[in-house]
Structure 1
Amino acid sequence: MLQGKRILITQADAFMGPVLCEVFAEHGAFVIPSTQSLIDSTAPAAVVASAGKIDILVANLAVPAPTTAAIDVSDAEWKDTFAALVDPLPRLFRAVLPQMIERRAGRILVMGSASALRGMKRASTYSAARGAQLAYVQSVGVELAAHNIQVNAIAQNFVDNPTYFPSDVQANPRFQERLKREVPLGRLVGAREDAEFAAYLCSDPASCFVGQVFPVCGGWVAR
């Protein structure tokens, strides 16, 4: 599906990065994995510049999710979470869009979270940051459609990945009971299942989607 496409994947060593690199390469892409921190305001532009021509940008951003009660959320927690998940997005877009607009071709996929789609206790900071990502995609996506650039997001939860569902969590009987209770599938969505869907969204047949947020949650939905 991605034969010959040059694809930059950020935080390639975290969240969905490793499996995205593997699956995209299997589909014929030339994968450019970046593991550089994007916290510094100049880092996104530097990463894009070093990658050269980019057909597809996968904004894969992750940070350990705080589990603080709303009344106890500090300014530092809020600032640090948004600095990791939200602030890099416009910087990445500003860096990569000129070349895509010039070619009138490009694809950007944000790997987000469904925590923004359903209220979750003790997740106000993380959910707010993930929600900001999705709102940004929806707005910029419809704006860039006129340039033949497709911007979309995957909003996922209960998807197998080493950042949010490491092996020790998955082995916990209480977590296994939670899966049976909250997820219709009764299991995590497989990492490759998610990555194959991401590959499709980055492919030419998916060019009709702009500014869309696609939940991938094993049947777990917003309410």
Structure 2
Amino acid sequence: MTMPDLAGKRVLITQADAFMGPTLCEVFAELGAQVVADTRSLWPPEAPAAALAEAGDIDVLLLNLAVPAPTSGVTDATDEEWAHVFGHMVDPMARLVRVALPAMIARRAGKILLMGSASALRGMKRTSSYSAARGAQLAYIQAVGVEVAPHNVQVNAIAQNFVDNPTYFPPEVQALPAFQERLRREVPLGRLVSPREDALFAAFLCSDAAACFVGQVFPVCGGWVAR
């Protein structure tokens, strides 16, 4: 397999110290990218624009946005819970994209990739607020992707689940016999996708070799959504 080439690409990775951030930073740097690892909270409305201003001219915006998933039943999910997941994963995404796109459109080059969730593609109990936020992310990416495609800007998403990462599958969770049984029962692959496998696919989608994908959502979940 030919490794993606990101030489000369300036890449802004948000929430770089959480979720897929550390592995994305490592892999993208290995592949020649100049990585801008932003670790600030993007909850404040002014934070996304500030992050982009400090990053300078970028070729790639990597939307790595995550919060621990609430497990409230649907009738117990409060307005505060709803606002929390949308305020951390949906609102910052739109603010980042709105600021990043004009420069990409003007030079007719750029890529935006969302590290999203397959929870938006398959119903899960006790995840109503979280799945709704993840679904909003994917719908937004699909709409933006087809709108900016004529400007040679590619906007896509990875919808992942059962990918090894510290936010959703920390070591203490993976060690539980109940989790291992769930993995065998629900994931045809029979194991977690490694963070490096996920990051390498993200790198491909952010490379010049992936210029034909427009507003697409790519499940990376070991076959979980096909069950």
Same fold per superposition (TM over 0.5): yes
What residue is the counterpart of 1:43 in the other structure? 47
Contact 1:110 / 1:154 at 8 angstroms: preserved in 2?
yes
Alignment match, 1:112 = 116
How many percent of aligned residue pairs carry the same amino acid?
Answer: 73
The question of 1:155 aligning with 2:182 is answered no
**Aligned residue type for 1:113:** S
Q: CA offsets per residue over residues 33-81 of structure 1, 9 Å max, x none?
A: 0001100000000000000010000000000100000011100000111
The 5 Å alignment of 1:16-27 reads 16-27=20-31
Shift of 1:12: 0.2
Structure 1 residue aligned with 2:94: 90
Matched, 1:99 2:106: no
Which letter does structure 2 place at the counterpart of 1:36? R
Structure 1 residue ranges, 4+ long, deviating more than 6 angstroms after superposition: none
- SS of alignment partner, residue 221 of structure 1: helix
Once the two structures are TM-superposed, the CA of residue 83 in structure 1 deviates from its matched residue by 0.2
Q: Can you give the 5+ residue segments of structure 1 that lack an aligned partner in the other structure?
A: none
**Displacement after TM superposition at 1:23 (Å):** 0.3
Task: Give yes or no for contact 1:117–1:222 (8 Å, CA) kept in 2.
Answer: no
Cα distance between partner residues in 1 of 2:132 and 2:10: 31
Counterpart position of 1:173: 177
Match of 2:136 among 132, 136, 144: 132
Check conservation: 1:55, 1:106, Cα contact below 8 A.
yes
1:212 Cα deviation from its structure 2 partner? 0.1
Q: Report the AA paired with residue 193 of structure 2.
A: V
One-letter amino acid of the structure 1 residue matched with residue 16 of structure 2:
A
CA distance in 1, matches of 2:114, 2:58: 15
**Residue 11 of structure 2 aligns with which residue?**
7
3-state SS of 1:70 partner: coil
Offset at 1:185?
A: 1.0
Give the TM-score normalised by structure 2.
0.97
TM-score normalized with structure 1 length:
0.99
Residues of 1 paired with 2:64 and 2:72: CA distance? Answer: 24
Unaligned runs of 5+ in 2: none
Which residue identity lines up with residue 111 of structure 1 in the other structure?
Answer: M
Quote the RMSD (CA, aligned, Å): 0.7
Pairing 1:192–2:203 present: no
Distance, in Å, in 1 between the alignment partners of 2:124 and 2:224 is 13
* Residue of 28, 32, 41 corresponding to 1:28: 32
Give, in angstroms, the shift of residue 202 of structure 1: 0.4
* Alignment check: 8 A CA contact 1:112 1:130 kept: yes
SS at match of 1:205: coil
Aligned partner letter, 1:98: P
Distance verdict in 2 for CA 1:25–1:163, change over 3 Å:
same
**Residue 204 in 1 paired to residue 208 in 2?**
yes
Between the aligned partners of 1:65 and 1:46, the Cα distance in structure 2 is 27
Q: Does 1:65 pair with 2:84?
A: no
**Matched letter for residue 160 of structure 1:** D
Q: CA deviation at 1:89?
A: 1.2
Deviation at 1:222, TM superposition (A): 4.9
1:221 is displaced (CA, Å) by: 1.3
